[in-house]
Amino acid sequence: MSGTLFPNAAFWGERLQIAREFKGLTQKELAGEVSASPSLISLCEKGEKPFPASDLVEAFGEVLGFEPLFFYGPLTDMFREEECSFRHRRSTPERLKAKIRAHATLTGMVISRLRSIFRFPDQNIPRIPAHTDAEIEAAAEECRRHWNLSLDSPIKHVGRILEHAGVVIVPHLVREDVDAFSRFGPTAVIFLNQAIKSTSRWHFDIGHECGHLVMHQGVPTGTEETEDAANRFASAFLLPRKAFTREFCTDEFDWKHILAMKRRWQTSAQAIVRRAYDLRLLGAVEYRKAFKYMSWKGWTSGGEPDEPAFQEPELLTNALGALGKKVALTIEALCKELYFKPETFREITTIAVPKSHSMPAVIPFSH
């Protein structure tokens, strides 16, 4: 075995854990890949092996897609389980959630670096705990007031509202069983599923995650109660009750009216029908009939008509796009600074790192 890479710098176990989880490997699987024992991997991750052999660290890098230097130095902003909320199916395995958290932590590193060179909006998320339906309605309305949004008007680009409030929206989830994910912390983020190419669904997902950020700061989520609360918040935030009731009742309940409301409020027909039911504008029988109809038409499986134009989140994309143009730092240099391998950077941000001849294949060991 060779010596340690940096005799004076500590190997940071959490970085190994993040890289491993991002790759979707268990400790045992990683141990097999690098020909080490699972207990050694465990010791490294717990920080009980601060100076692992250099060849082992290099092997970690090769298997996990990072430069060896990535594993050194403190991890300042790890996305911890208690800070994160998932909008997912009940069957979603813990391993997948860990992978998404790791992805988010790595994205957080990119965002932190971008924040040090670009002016990002300050984080401005109100904290309004709410439990009952009445409290949730009031929380959603208070949130609108906090951001100076009229209670009478639809929101055309919900993502922008959150981005102006300092929440970075990342459309990079790829798994179909997780719709969205959010984290409240020094870097507040909402992850959206890029496979869902429906603006109205994204709007609701953003509203749902916004509900977690506003109502559940420091509260463990994932229970039926917190998910229902976030759904109710999303409905109330996107479709404020007074304006919704007024417009819903201007005409008989037929589908043309619902789709006209969808075009105006930029939410799905399903969300509108559910809102009408929650506000008792529709009875349970009508609500069930309506869902049966939507299911029959294939709307509940993603084929709703009159979808609003697709709205990509902009803050992160624009900041990455400005690298090398508005600032000297380029994508390649950012990738190098963070010690991500180009393919890993691409996997994290979906942005390809241009090939550069100046980029060494191996980071020199001397420092």
The residue (of 197 and 292) whose beta carbon lies closer to another protein is 292
The residue (of 284 and 361) whose beta carbon lies closer to another protein is 284
The residue (of 42 and 112) whose beta carbon lies closer to another protein is 112
The residue (of 48 and 310) whose beta carbon lies closer to another protein is 310
The residue (of 95 and 164) whose beta carbon lies closer to another protein is 164
> Applying CB under 8 A, which of residues 94, 122, 224, 252 lies at the interface with another protein?
252
> Applying CB under 8 A, which of residues 91, 254, 310, 362 lies at the interface with another protein?
254
Q: Count Cβ atoms within 10 A of the Cβ of residue 279 and give its class: 0-12 exposed, 13-18 middle, 19 or more buried.
A: middle
What is the smallest separation between the CB atom of 170 and another protein, expressed in angstroms? 14
- Buried b / exposed e over 17-38, threshold 16 CB at 10 Å, is bbbbbbbebebeebbebbebee
Interface with another protein includes 109 (CB under 8 A)?
A: no
H-only helix segments in 216-326: 224-238, 241-248, 255-265, 269-278, 284-296, 315-322
**Binding region for another protein (CB under 8 A) out of 3-11, 25-33, 194-202, 245-253:** 245-253
The residue (of 56 and 315) whose beta carbon lies closer to another protein is 315
345 vs 339: CA distance, rounded Å: 9
Interface with another protein includes 333 (CB under 8 A)?
A: no
> Applying CB under 8 A, which of residues 132, 150, 223, 295 lies at the interface with another protein?
150
Question: Who's near 175: CB < 8 A, 6+ residues apart?
Answer: 96, 100, 193
29 vs 335: CA distance, rounded Å: 26
**Binding region for another protein (CB under 8 A) out of 72-80, 179-187, 194-202, 258-266:** 258-266
The residue assigned the tokens 């075995």 is: 1
> Applying CB under 8 A, which of residues 146, 157, 241, 341 lies at the interface with another protein?
157
Half-sphere exposure of 41 (CA within 13 A, CB side): 22
> Applying CB under 8 A, which of residues 156, 175, 241, 346 lies at the interface with another protein?
156
Interface with another protein includes 329 (CB under 8 A)?
A: yes
Which residues are registered as beta bridge partners of 173? 193
Q: Are 214 and 200 in contact (CB under 8 A)?
A: no
Interface with another protein includes 135 (CB under 8 A)?
A: no
3-state secondary structure 298-359: CCCCCCCCCCCCCCCCCHHHHHHHHECCCECCCHHHHHHHHCECHHHHHHHHCCCCCCCCCC
> Applying CB under 8 A, which of residues 67, 163, 209, 278 lies at the interface with another protein?
163
> Applying CB under 8 A, which of residues 1, 134, 284, 285 lies at the interface with another protein?
285
286 vs 200: CA distance, rounded Å: 22
Q: Are 265 and 241 in contact (CB under 8 A)?
A: no
Interface with another protein includes 282 (CB under 8 A)?
A: yes
86 vs 101: CA distance, rounded Å: 10
Binding site for another protein (CB under 8 A): 114, 116-121, 149-150, 152-157, 160-161, 163-164, 243, 246-247, 250-257, 260, 264, 266, 282-283, 285-286, 289-290, 292-293, 296, 314-315, 318-319, 322, 324-329
